[in-house]
Chains A and B, each alone.
Chain A
Amino acid sequence: MRQKDDWHLTDALAYEHGRGDPFAAAVRATRMPMVITDPAQPDNPIVFCNEAFQTLTGYDREEIVGRNCRFLQGPDTDRASVAKVRAAIEEETDVSVDLLNYKKDGTTFWNALYLSPVRDDAGTVVFFFASQLDVTDRVEAQRIIAGQKEAIEREVEARTADLEAALAAKTLLLHEVDHRVKNNLTMIGSLLRLQARNIPDPAIASKLEAMLERVDALATVHRRLYQSEDITRFDVGAFAENLVTDVVGASGRSDIVIDADVACIEVPSSQAAALGLILNEVVTNAIKHGFAGGRSGTIMLRASVAEGCASIEIGDDGPGFERSGAESSGLGTVLIARLSKQVGATPIWSDAAPGARFTLTFPVDK
């Protein structure tokens, strides 16, 4: 018997009785499936397989010994992985690879194969030692996770595309609505102006004029809101200054001097229209009554915030409240009272001697 066949003797060993080669007994009894092949024989056949290998593959020892390991391969075994094993054998190096293998009953299992050459003292490869591990559960789990990940990624991609499309549609709609609001506000103003030009009765014309100014105030509020960086906040101080400048500028009255000292007063945009209308009533009234009959003078505007309370003051140096028929029952006065209540503001009229003064105070966020 050649020396390299010595291990065959171990087959006959009764390891359960603790006799013979203890290493060979360990290889036989381990739960790790193992084979040994002999590269000196044609086609490098299996010359030993343990019990665990037989259990794993379903073949008996007689069906295994003498065959090349490739008998475990099947149609779905990855060719590239097989090529890796072949290359390792040719290069006489070790290799670790996951292979899809087939059992005797035709079912498949994932085989974590570790193959290494066994050399003699001269360095010649005398055997290849191969251990197998059924890692079907692990590979399956990875495959399922990879599949799920891919499915989720596809789903996320589809959802993102849906959301982007929805956002684009909403943005377009918002722009369209915004454009229409602006155009309609402009057209309402234009209609009123065109009508106002054709009214011969000065009393009616002046009422329409006042209405036109209210619509214009709303238009200005809207314009300032969309032009500001934060559309949820409205600077009522800047609006007041804008209003006074426009009213005086449009009147062409270079004899009315504006004395403005205005701090930024930010209010929520929901209060913008109401505050804008209140200020419009006061400012247009001051110009109409405080500087009537070509009387020159100064219009004073103050806007300040202190300890959570905002204050806007508008004053003229005209005839004060003794002036001809300051309309206490007109729509303007009613608007100021009701809108002030709506936004929690307090309107106060006072005689400033000379002139009239209006003060609006309201709470603001600190």
Chain B
Amino acid sequence: MINRPCAPLNVLIVEDEALLAMDIEAMVEDAGHKVVAEAASLFDVEDLDSTLVPDLAFVDVQLAQGTNGIDVCHLIRERWSDAFVVFVTANPLKIPEDYAGGHGVIPKPFSRNGLLSAMRYIEEGVCDPPPTSPQPASFIAAPAFAASWK
């Protein structure tokens, strides 16, 4: 990848639980990044302004209106091919083996320390790979993403 994004990253949050969306937004900002949009369903993501350019998306798997994060991941990869997608889910086993083109998963329930260290690790992996911090237990990188650092 030639054009690596630099911190602060533009972050998209796709989460149907309002509390979790608020919490993740606060933690993303604590980590020094910028939340550019929030969405609760696939339809919300479809309706997003196309001038938005998210660098990183945190995507829940079970979403509002019967939609799911796997479809959202495909849509994000199609609309913003440079964006990184990280699933945030209570059911990591539901994520397909190829991560649907996504880059990793943060299993729920997450802790603040877990999410912050995951975010630091992802930031290193996105902006200045390979990451220098040890891989936190709170984040599992997709095999293809991890392989790109070698």
Contacts and interface: CB of A to CB of B under 8 A. Distances in A.
Do A and B interact with each other, yes or no? yes
A190 B136 contact: no
Contact of B109 (A194, A212, A219, A250): A219
B67 interface: no
B26 A212 contact: no
B137 A246 contact: yes
A183 B112 contact: no
Contacts of B108: 182-183, 185-186, 223
A349 B16 CA distance: 45
B112 A194 contact: no
B90 A250 contact: no
A193 interface: yes
A246 B20 contact: no
Interface stretch (B75-83, B96-104, B116-124): B116-124
Contacts of B115: 250
Task: Place the interface of chain B in its size category.
Answer: 20 to 34
Contacts of B69: none
B95 interface: no
Centre residue among B26, B113, B116 by max chain A CB count within 10 A: B113
Contacts of B121: 249
Interface in A177-194: 178-179, 182-183, 185-187, 189-191, 193-194
Contact of A247 (B27, B92, B113): B113
A227 B113 contact: no
B89 to A, nearest CB: 9
A201 to B, nearest CB: 19
Given A179-B91, A217-B111, A187 B19 contact: yes
B127 to A, nearest CB: 15
B68 interface: no
Contacts of A193: 23, 26-27, 112
Contacts of B26: 193-194, 197
Contact of A189 (B109, B116, B117): B109
Contacts, number: 99
A223 B138 CA distance: 9
Contacts of B27: 193
A246 B136 contact: yes
A217 B121 CA distance: 20
Interface string A137-169: 000000000000000000000000000000000
A189 B136 contact: no
Main secondary structure of the interface of A (DSSP, over half): helix
Which residue of A179, A213, A246, A250 has the most chain B CB atoms within 10 A of its CB atom? A250
B145 interface: no
A227 B92 contact: yes
B114 A220 contact: yes
A308 to B, nearest CB: 27
Contact of A186 (B90, B134, B137): B90
Contacts of B137: 220, 224, 238, 242, 245-246
B20 A187 contact: yes
B110 A249 contact: no
Q: Which of B110, B115, B136: most chain A CB closer than 10 A?
A: B110
Interface in A214-247: 216-217, 219-220, 222-224, 227, 238, 242, 245-247
A189 B23 contact: yes
A189 B91 contact: no
A189 B137 CA distance: 18
B107 A227 contact: yes
A252 interface: yes
A227 B110 CA distance: 13
Contacts of A217: 111
Contacts of A189: 23, 109-112
Contacts of A246: 111, 113-114, 117, 136-138
Contacts of A183: 17, 90, 108-109
Interface of A: 178-179, 182-183, 185-187, 189-191, 193-194, 197, 212-213, 216-217, 219-220, 222-224, 227, 238, 242, 245-247, 249-250, 252, 258
